[in-house]
Every structure is written in C-alpha cells, then in structure tokens.
Structure 1
Amino acid sequence: MKIAIGIEYHGAYFQGWQSQPNAAGVQDAIERAIALVGGEAVRLHAAGRTDTGVHALMQVAHFETSVTRPLTAWVRGTNAHLPSWVRVLWAVQVDDAFHARFSARSRSYQYVLYNHPVAPASQHGRVGWYHRPLSIAPMQQAASVLVGQHDFSAFRASECQAKTPVRTMHRAQITQQGPYLVFSFEANAFLQHQIRNMVGALVYVGQGKLSADAFAALLQQQDRRLSPPTFMPDGLYFTGVQYDAVWQLPVSHARWA
C-alpha cells in the first residue's frame, strides 16, 4: 500500500531534505523511524527538496509498504523514533497513482526576515536578518514582476540540475508585521536557491541599491552573474503543496504568518 505523510522540521539540524552519505538528511531520519515502525526498509519521495538550514511547516512525502499498521502508528509510532526537531503531522493511505512530487500542482514557500539593528536571539536560526531599515513599497513593486511564466536563470544556482529554468510564479508577495518582513511565493516548481536569490535581490531593492525597474531588468537578462548574492537560508520555510481534491489529502498548507 502507499502512505502519504505531512512533515514539519527545523532545517538547522539537517543537511537538507535529501538522504546524505553521513545519514544527516531529513529523509534519512524519517526513513529510519518508519522502518522501526513497519519492520521493513522504505524509501520516501517528497514534494520538494529543501537545502541545509531550510525549514518545513508542511512537507509532503509518500512511501510504499507491504505491512499493515493503523494510520496512527505511522504518526505517533514514527514520531517516537524521531528527534524533537522533526515530526510527522498526519498519515493517509492514498491511491497507487499518487506521487508526492509528480501529483503536486504547486509548491509554496515563505521567507521570514527580521529587519532590526540587532540580530535576534530567540529566533536565531529560524529567521533571516538584515540590520538596516528596508523600504517595503519598492520591494513589493519589484516582487510583482515575478508573477507569471518566466525564465528564472537570473535567480538560479550555478549547480542547479533542473532541465529548464522556466517556471510559473502564481504568487509573490511581501507583507510587514512589525520588524518582520514575510515574503510569500507560490509556483508550479522552484529552481535550486531560487527563493534565496530572489530575496537577496529584493533586499537590495529595499536598501535602495537596486530600483524596481533594475530588478525587472535582472529577470529579463537571465544572467545569475549580474544578480546580488544568495541570502541566508535561516528564514526560509516550505509551507505547503497544492494537490487536486481527488487525492483527498488533509490540509497540506501551513503559513508562518
């Protein structure tokens, strides 16, 4: 049978989602825990891979198993074998045709930036930080040009292995909550480091180092070498996946704010 699960994790404790030779990936930890519950090895397939230091409020993955367990066992039993910084939130049996990655219609991320002269202590590792005041209006104007289908080569990591840099951005918004700026993005898929690179460029806009028009020109030039540096991973959260209702999954989105 095939089981889909929702997952939350603190990315600072892992070397990204993907399984690592030293078993330090999120995937490694959860596969070990599920194997202890089911008594057999499993392979997890996720909706999207996150890098080292990137968190998830709602990652979705699936695995196949030949054993029968109550769905509560795949949640509570698995969590009993996991460190406190990663949790399975729900588990459902799904049709054999379901695939956590290929059945997904879109993915959502949020980047949380603490804009204050002093770096946060209680939020260390959980939010990004920039010390000088940022002007949000030009940042919002610049972010709006990201919506639609574009070649995102300007914000693509040099080591990105995606077959095409073209992605469709459904939403690119920036809101302010006191000293926190929350960047919200939804797209059919994302390139490696794409969000951190876009946030880095938008911070340049907020500083006045880059105009909204110049930001739009960067997107059109499709040259990563012309864009500002990649921003820190600390404030990036995988917040959910959009699936067709036919799969009957529980809520697959969770927002930071």
Structure 2
Amino acid sequence: MNTTRHVTGQGGFANRFGMSEICQKDLPEEMHVMRALPGIQPLEMSDWLRVDDAYAAQMCERIRLMGAQRDDVRAAIDSSEPAVDEAFEAIVAQVQTLEGFTRVGDHMFCPDGRSVDLNGEPLIVIGHLIQEDICILERPDGLDEHILSAAILCFPAHWTLSEKIGKPMGRIHQPVDEYDENIRRRVQRLFDGVQVGRPLWRFNRAYSGATLYQPRLEKDYSEYDPSKVNDFLRSERQVLVRLPNSKAVIFSIHTYVIDQREIGESS
C-alpha cells in the first residue's frame, strides 16, 4: 500500500509514482477532541490558512483535478465576479504571511517549489496556491439566505458542486434530514453574524476512506454511519471569513486524512 505522508520539495512526484493515499501525520492539536454541535469558535485572522506536511501531495492532486476535471471542481454564477476577485486578493495577501510563500512580481513561489502565475483565472489560481477548498457565499438583495455563488472544490466530501452552485443554504442541505427549519435559521444567523476581521471556525469528522475527491449526487446521498469505521479518519477544518467590500462570506475547507494505523504504531 502506497501512502503519501511527509511530502516536501517539488510538487508532482506523488502522481508520477502512483500514490493514491495522501495523509497528514496527525490532526492539529485543537482538532483532537470533538466539541458539541455546532462547535463554532473564534479564530485569529492570522490563523485562517494553513500549510501542513501533506501540502505538496495535496497540491499535486488539486492540480491534477483542475486539469482533468475543471468543470467538476470549479463553478461560479455570473454575478459572483466582484466577490471572487475580492476573495482572490484576500487569499493572495494572506499566503504571503505564511512560511514558504514568496511573491515576486506577478508570481507566487510556493512551499513545494512551484511558481504560480497570479494573472490566471482567480478561482483556478487559488486552487494552485492553497490546500483549502474555497466556497463563496453571498446574500442577494431580497433573499433570506446566502447562496453558493462560486467555488473551487477539489476535495468534496459526499456532495457535488454542480448540484449546489447558485442554490441557497437550505436547498444545498436538502438531503440531510437533520437540516430542518430550525437549523436553517440558526445557520443563517451564523452567516449573518460573521464580522470582518473576526473569522469563525469549526471542524467535523468522518471515516470515509483516504480518497480526497469524493463527490456524491443527491440521489445517492446516505447518512454517515459512525459504526462503519475504516483505517482512515477524514476531518475538515472549516473557516468563515467576511469580506469587507462585497460582504460575501468565504467558507474555506482544509481537509485532513489520517491513517490511524500509523497513529497506533507511533503511539
């Protein structure tokens, strides 16, 4: 079994050698103990985006997906351009504060040695820079919910971007039985309450295998069964960031996959 864990240097070798399991060594310390739902916590803006030990391998997989399945992992409605551009600028500014990133003119040098041209299509450039998937949610005038207006989503966990783009939050979560009217209102209050410069975060946990790209159509949706545990723990670090000009909310998702056999061997 080939497993990518500690990956550094030039991106690209993981796929050349057929490595299909991309795993971090461990979860961040603050994600070891589950909190009561919804588990929302405040976060310092400086801790929004992260680079971990699987950066090079995850970026290799992101680049592969954006090349082979661009229309599956990138989507935007026509009115989203201002919010997408603002999100792009915020992310480019943020990554320059992270170790391993250096901007030289219109190029960003990344921790795995790649150089990314910043003049490309914003969502695709974002997808080449960071491990996080980025969903942009906006609340158009006259609507009582945020809608998913744009996204670069390379690592979906049992949902399909094409079915959700342009839809309001309640409709996006329609297959989930627990997402009732009460939950819908609570989630909307949360999105309305996110303040500029004061992001919020939470994390989830599931045992869904090592594959990062796991789309699922609504017709095939099934509730997560915690009794069906496998060797791989998947956990998403989800952050909400308010953009000051468009007032859109960035929902970023940093995906961790942990091989629990490795944890057991090292403990």
Q: TM-score, normalised by structure 1?
A: 0.25
Structure showing greater Rg? 1
- Structure number with the higher helix fraction is 2
Q: TM-score, normalised by structure 2?
A: 0.24
- Structure number with the higher strand fraction is 1
